[in-house]
Chains A and B, each alone.
Chain A
């Protein structure tokens, strides 16, 4: 075939179905149409839920770079989400910056946070890293809770919704389309990264760290890159989350939040973009569908996660690639 095949590492089982450019273009067109039409068909309530699902697509794709691509277990991903949200909140409320100036600032602080926590810990054993990220996530949440600048336990409110070239992004529908664009950018960047030199380095490091190092890959640098890219995803998601809701509080950035994002990554299929997207939708839509179950739904989720790890460790929608069909 003349065109380059889509890498199985990123696309999962889709490669075998969408094996020609035509099929792929048709699929993309159908998905785009569905995204545009969906809110018009399902009404406002569904639009808000779908917006939330798209936010989780962005967050889960970010965490997927850390967990799925580089193979590092991060249990404090909500920390970067918080950094993004609070940077935008504080910059717009206290310093009068507009949203589009606050956004790069949020990204900047997320990178700083990623480097601060990543540099000392990425040399450690992988299970230590999981606990350290957990501790770091709690530190960020507690700091947000205790500091005066972040509004304490009640958080910040009155964050203004942004303007874009005279368009005031304010209604739920506006934000739905903004998150559509964000999610598409997140997918494209994830695919490009998976296919890049860095993406191949992550694959190496994940499969065999020592062999990767022997091949001349600086594993700490490569892991740090994954960590920082994931942090940027989280911060951008957090920035738009703050702009969308207009109010943020420490409760949005708890350990449960990190776990929910992690579940989105694992349920669908770690490292596989369609799987992660599916996972994000499951994580957001399932509670809506399981509303009658009340607290039990979290338990159902947890049992589901355990069963998946035991019986289908590569997720609901796994890759059909030559390598790692089982793992």
Chain B
């Protein structure tokens, strides 16, 4: 393969990877924007989303088949189910802690993450679970570059979800309320916004997007694992930080950038695929050190 071929193949890989990161990063950034909480459990909700999608698909596939249509329907149900789980977690674990010291709420979030992870570890006995979908292997050849239909559908669905979210947040009344709450919670309450409902809605949306990513990743890669949320949680956080945490377009941009950085980074001399994660985390640390507000984030006065 020539240079151009490798370049374009990595471009495709990077965009696919980047759309996963972006979907998960959106939830991080939305929750952070509204309640200023780093939801450590977010990556694990992605994992739960994958398992939920798998479970729903195995119930529905006799009726709608295990192809992309079946996966899409399962994905929608998984988004709703896991979205509700996200709201429950927010109500049970985070809501009572929002006025507690920051250290306590961080540890609570970590505890939620461990409960989800180890709960799934107990259920699956630590085994990889094959995702029972049957997607085709077809695709389009552009010269020597091969793009599978799966990759196209995946990126297309991700773009559609993100566009939907962007429209929801910028055009609807509920979205306006969300933006208001992220600017000033107390003022929003005075103006008659039901802040708790907005927070619950934010968790629902953010978690739902993670579940969508989880189901699609399960279908695309073909297997699920209880620990699969850990790494992507960390990567998605990196993406959110690159784009500027709290900024929705930033999360999308950050996800794409990180996906591309990773797929091209592994081609650099000395950065093999075994150093891929080290590469991403180094990017995270460098961004936090030199540009903690990210590309599209607003500078923030910290008061804690």
In the complex formed, the residue of A with least CB distance to B237 is: A131
List A286-327 residues whose CB lies under 8 Å from chain B: 295-296, 298-299, 301-303, 305-306, 309-310, 313, 327
* Interface-lining segment among A134-142, A174-182, A240-248: A134-142
Decide yes or no whether A128 CB sits under 8 A from chain B: yes
Decide yes or no whether B134 CB sits under 8 A from chain A: no
* Interface-lining segment among B116-124, B148-156, B159-167, B169-177: B116-124
A255 x B118 contact (CB < 8 A): no
A259 x B234 contact (CB < 8 A): no
Decide yes or no whether B275 CB sits under 8 A from chain A: yes
B97 x A124 contact (CB < 8 A): no
Decide yes or no whether B193 CB sits under 8 A from chain A: no
B289 x A127 contact (CB < 8 A): no
Decide yes or no whether A67 CB sits under 8 A from chain B: yes
A327 x B281 contact (CB < 8 A): no
CB A187 to nearest CB in B, in angstroms, measures 23
A120 x B106 contact (CB < 8 A): no
Contact of B106 among A124, A127, A259, A295 (CB under 8 A): A127
Residues of A within 8 A of B38 (CB): 127, 130-131
Decide yes or no whether B284 CB sits under 8 A from chain A: yes
List B13-55 residues whose CB lies under 8 Å from chain A: 37-38, 40
* Interface-lining segment among B107-115, B210-218, B247-255: B107-115
B115 x A306 contact (CB < 8 A): yes
In the complex formed, the residue of B with least CB distance to A75 is: B110
Which has the most chain A C-beta neighbours within 10 Å: B118, B237, B277, B284? B118
B118 x A302 contact (CB < 8 A): yes
Q: How many residues of A contact B (CB 8 A)?
A: 42
Q: What string of 1s and 0s marks CB contacts (under 8 Å) between B88-132 and chain A?
A: 000001001100111110111011101101110110011000000
A309 x B234 contact (CB < 8 A): no
Classify chain B: how many residues form its interface, as a range: 35 or more
B275 x A146 contact (CB < 8 A): yes
Q: How distant is the Cα of A75 from the Cα of B111 in the complex, in angstroms?
A: 12
B110 x A139 contact (CB < 8 A): no
A126 x B230 contact (CB < 8 A): no
A309 x B108 contact (CB < 8 A): yes
Q: What string of 1s and 0s marks CB contacts (under 8 Å) between B279-290 and chain A?
A: 001101100110
B104 x A313 contact (CB < 8 A): yes
Question: Given that A73-B106, A135-B234 are known contacts, is A295 also in contact with B292, CB under 8 Å in the complex?
Answer: no
B107 x A266 contact (CB < 8 A): yes
Q: How distant is the Cα of A124 from the Cα of B291 in the complex, in angstroms?
A: 11
Decide yes or no whether A132 CB sits under 8 A from chain B: yes
Question: Given that A120-B289, A130-B38 are known contacts, is A309 also in contact with B115, CB under 8 Å in the complex?
Answer: no
CB B93 to nearest CB in A, in angstroms, measures 7
A131 x B234 contact (CB < 8 A): yes
Residues of B within 8 A of A148 (CB): none
Q: How distant is the Cα of A73 from the Cα of B102 in the complex, in angstroms?
A: 10
Q: What string of 1s and 0s marks CB contacts (under 8 Å) between A106-129 and chain B?
A: 000000000000001100111110
A327 x B284 contact (CB < 8 A): no
B121 x A121 contact (CB < 8 A): no
Decide yes or no whether A97 CB sits under 8 A from chain B: no
B118 x A301 contact (CB < 8 A): yes
Contact of A125 among B104, B278, B302 (CB under 8 A): B302
In the complex formed, the residue of A with least CB distance to B117 is: A302
Residues of B within 8 A of A71 (CB): 101, 103
List chain B positions with a Cβ less than 8 A from chain A: 37-38, 40, 93, 96-97, 100-104, 106-108, 110-112, 114-115, 117-119, 121-122, 125-126, 230, 234, 237-238, 241, 274-275, 277-278, 281-282, 284-285, 288-289, 292, 302-304
List chain A positions with a Cβ less than 8 A from chain B: 67, 71, 73, 75, 120-121, 124-128, 130-132, 134-136, 138-139, 142-143, 145-146, 209-210, 255, 259, 262, 266, 295-296, 298-299, 301-303, 305-306, 309-310, 313, 327
* Between-chain CB contacts (< 8 Å), 20 pairs: A125-B304, A127-B102, A132-B288, A138-B277, A138-B278, A139-B278, A142-B277, A209-B304, A259-B114, A262-B110, A295-B125, A298-B121, A298-B122, A299-B115, A302-B115, A306-B112, A309-B97, A327-B100, A327-B101, A327-B104
What 4 A-B pairs are tightest by C-beta distance, nearest first?
A302-B114, A135-B281, A306-B111, A299-B118
Given A295-B125, A309-B107, 19 other A-B residues pairs in contact with their CB atoms under 8 A: A73-B103, A75-B110, A126-B102, A128-B292, A131-B38, A131-B234, A132-B284, A136-B281, A136-B285, A145-B274, A262-B107, A296-B122, A298-B114, A301-B114, A302-B118, A305-B107, A305-B111, A309-B108, A327-B101
